[in-house]
Chains A and B, each alone.
Chain A
Amino acid sequence: MKLTLVESGGLAAGLRLGRPPLVLDLSTLPEADARELADLVSVARQAPAAAESSRRVPDEMSYTITVDDGEAQEALHRSDTTMSQGFAELVDRLHRLASSG
């Protein structure tokens, strides 16, 4: 399984624009990390995005996590105000693994 995270918007949107996405191939991770990530992905998938209001939220960030299991791709799109705690945990874990790897 391969995970791709694209972050955009926010007060520092200018710094994020055009930056390369964060990519993690689970097959390159220690087994425990890979299993934990896979669990977080299934939790994040199950929690739908909270209903978005019609107005856009100034300076909030948005996140697109693409899950590629080799056969199909699924994109999970959330924002600071629509994401579940599970999704937030997945974003946090991706950051940690990417900066330690």
Chain B
Amino acid sequence: MTEKRVLNCIVPPHILAKLLESSDAEIREAAMRTLLTTMRLQGEREVRATLLGRAAPAEGRRTVYDCRHSTFLPSAVLARSEDGASSGDDSVNRAFDGFGATRQFYLEIMGRNSIDDRGMRLDGYVHRGVDYNNAFWDGQEMVFGDGDGRIFSDFTGSLDVIGHELTHGVTEHTAGLEYHNQSGALNESMSDVMGCLVKQWTMRQTAEDADWLIGAEVFTPGFDGDALRSLKAPGTAYDNDTFGKDPQPDHMDGYLELPDTDEGDNGGVHLNSGIPNHAFYQAAVGIGGYAWEAAGHIWYESLRASTPTTDFQAFADTTVGKAGDLYGSSEQDAVRDAWDHVGISVSSGTARRRPPVSVPGGNGTTAEVARDMDQLLAQVERLRQDLHLPA
């Protein structure tokens, strides 16, 4: 073995990132070692920002269309584009800004370049239909209604709802979780979780301080309740004469067996999502600090490692494994306890050993390098703790 080379630490991170793509394995390894050292000296955040800043800044271009109350999307008119002026219409601007915040969250925090990680354009349609009480993702675009003005107001009003819809696109391009029964409830939960994280990240709120509500702003003041759903306390988002009590369970004991039909919400995907939603909340609070950091990364990496038919148990197992791989035993314990809290137990045999610090392959895209960075940062953090270095 030759002596391990470390490049001079004044080499800027973006040059190092370029060197990571070198065809020479020795240069790649030296670049990675240097990055590790640089991160320990300069701090993770700056290095990360420099690297991610290179990730295709003009991609994920946003376009918002005005349906003018039609349900026929092809007849909608252009209302705002990426380089265009802001609109006189608040719904248009809220959708545009919400896409921007969600795009930035995925880029900076998850190292993901838009919905498909390849800079997919973000198209939104507002003012769909008449008094339409909904928003959805149709595989290509996000569509928002104005609400009926009595119970519901504009669905562009909640940033977490915008993050929720965009995340349906992310899930479709990663695990592809089938939209029924448990895989469907996980699909819904991932959208609620990431929707909350986009909002918390934008507001710089800790897990402790956040309200963990979905869609608090899509209701008029005439609605007697807090929101559509609560991750902190599923089943408590509303309780009134018109709609009854929020039916979401927060534990497997309350799992709702509903028919896998449209009328049964495809097996209760928006209801049973309360169970994994609450597990995420428990994990985030258990780990502490900002939920988009350890807990968010563990969930996102678990989504990427899932398949169309992943169920609650399999997903729980994956998150506990990822917590050990990416972070350490205290995070892993917090994630295991979180699932235990909702009635899903993950045996300790599932926990994997920490992998050694590895040199990522040198032919990845910038986004792949950014993802490798996530793992690297977790390794650096463990190193720091092992060596008892100050943060």
B71 near A17 (CB under 8 angstroms)? no
| B136 adjacent to chain A (CB < 8 Å) | yes
* Contacts A11-B134, A57-B138 given; does A79 touch B262 at CB 8 Å: yes
Number of B residues near A (Cβ < 8 Å) is 48
| A92 adjacent to chain B (CB < 8 Å) | yes
| A85 adjacent to chain B (CB < 8 Å) | yes
Q: How far is the CB of A17 from chain B (nearest CB, A)?
A: 6
A8 near B139 (CB under 8 angstroms)? no
Chain B residues numbered 148-165 whose CB sits less than 8 Å from any CB in chain A: 148, 152, 155, 161, 164-165
Complex interface: chain A residues within 8 A of B139 (CB): 53, 55, 57
A19 near B243 (CB under 8 angstroms)? yes
| B269 adjacent to chain A (CB < 8 Å) | yes
B152 near A14 (CB under 8 angstroms)? no
A14 near B228 (CB under 8 angstroms)? yes
Q: Complex: how many Å from CA A80 to CA B143?
A: 10
A10 near B134 (CB under 8 angstroms)? yes
Q: Chain B CB within 10 Å — which of A57, A59, A88, A95 has the most?
A: A59
Q: Complex: how many Å from CA A10 to CA B147?
A: 13
* Contacts A9-B262, A58-B168, A88-B129 given; does A14 touch B180 at CB 8 Å: no
B138 near A11 (CB under 8 angstroms)? no
A59 near B262 (CB under 8 angstroms)? no
Complex interface: chain B residues within 8 A of A79 (CB): 262
* Contacts A13-B270, A92-B131 given; does A56 touch B228 at CB 8 Å: no
Q: What is the 8 Å Cβ interface bit string for chain B, positions 260-274, against chain A (1 contact, 0 not)?
A: 001111100111000
Complex interface: chain A residues within 8 A of B178 (CB): 56
Complex interface: chain A residues within 8 A of B8 (CB): none
Chain A residues numbered 44-60 whose CB sits less than 8 Å from any CB in chain B: 53, 55-60
| B215 adjacent to chain A (CB < 8 Å) | yes
Partner of A92, one of B130, B133, B238, B258: B130
Q: Complex: how many Å from CA A11 to CA B138?
A: 13
Partner of B191, one of A19, A58, A81: A58
| B137 adjacent to chain A (CB < 8 Å) | yes
3 cross-chain pairs, A with B, having the tightest CB-CB distances, nearest first: A62-B262, A59-B136, A13-B270
Q: List 13 A-B contacts (CB under 8 A).
A: A11-B134, A11-B164, A12-B133, A12-B218, A13-B269, A14-B229, A14-B265, A15-B243, A58-B188, A59-B135, A80-B134, A88-B129, A95-B130
